[in-house]
Amino acid sequence: MSDKLDLKKSLASLYNPPRTFGLVEVPPFNFLMIDGKGDPRTAPAYGESVEALYAAAYTLKFKVKKALGIDYAVMPLEGLWWSEPIEAFSLDRRDLWQWTMMILQPELVTPDLVQSALSETQKKKQLPRLDQIRFESYHEGLSVQIMHLGPYVDEAPTLHRLHHEYIPAQGCEMVGKHHEIYLNDPNRTEPAKLKTVLRQPVRRKG
């Protein structure tokens, strides 16, 4: 039995960044993903999607441990957020939000293992959105990120500085989708202690 894999530690530069803006190069990673739209606070699809993701992720973890003798820590929930058109993305119009929720998987996880885990989970739990989960690679590349400490609703000033000050000062412009990584369970953590990685893919101008 090998030591337990903890990608959050081995990828600390991406999953435990400092509370200052920084440029990083994010390599391709494989994720369990599920798409949806609407206000995450009120849309039933959001809660159902997160429940399905975690159920699949934990079934997959135990399947890998049994099949390969390798144990690993399930990674935190992540989300890509946007609106169409992008100009419509606003904290005041969460009903227009579109999102992809996802959980990073170790390299040793294969499509066959994922499909087997999804089938097993469906037999046990009959979750309504489990069949919407996919296994896919996602490559952000050059990105700017920062650790946000505190309630999700307090992110706006940090994001404003990120978008309108730091990124232009680096000679970059935004591309891709706003990305958040939730390092705590909001149901078990007081808002002031919530840790969220805020990340925005960018490209250099010119």
What the chain holds in terms of domains, given with CATH numbers, is 1-11+30-139 (3.20.80.10), 143-172+181-206 (3.20.80.10)
pLDDT of residue 47: 95
Helices 44-68 and 111-125: crossing angle, nearest 10°?
Answer: 120
Pairwise CA distance, residues 104 & 151, whole Å:
23
Question: Which residue ranges of the chain lie beneath pLDDT 70?
Answer: 1-2, 86-88
Phi-psi region at 165: left, alpha or beta (left = phi > 0; alpha = psi -120 to 50): alpha
pLDDT of residue 87: 62
Q: How far is CA 61 from CA 78, 86, 110, 182, in A?
A: 17, 36, 12, 19
pLDDT of residue 88: 64
- pTM strictly above 0.85: yes
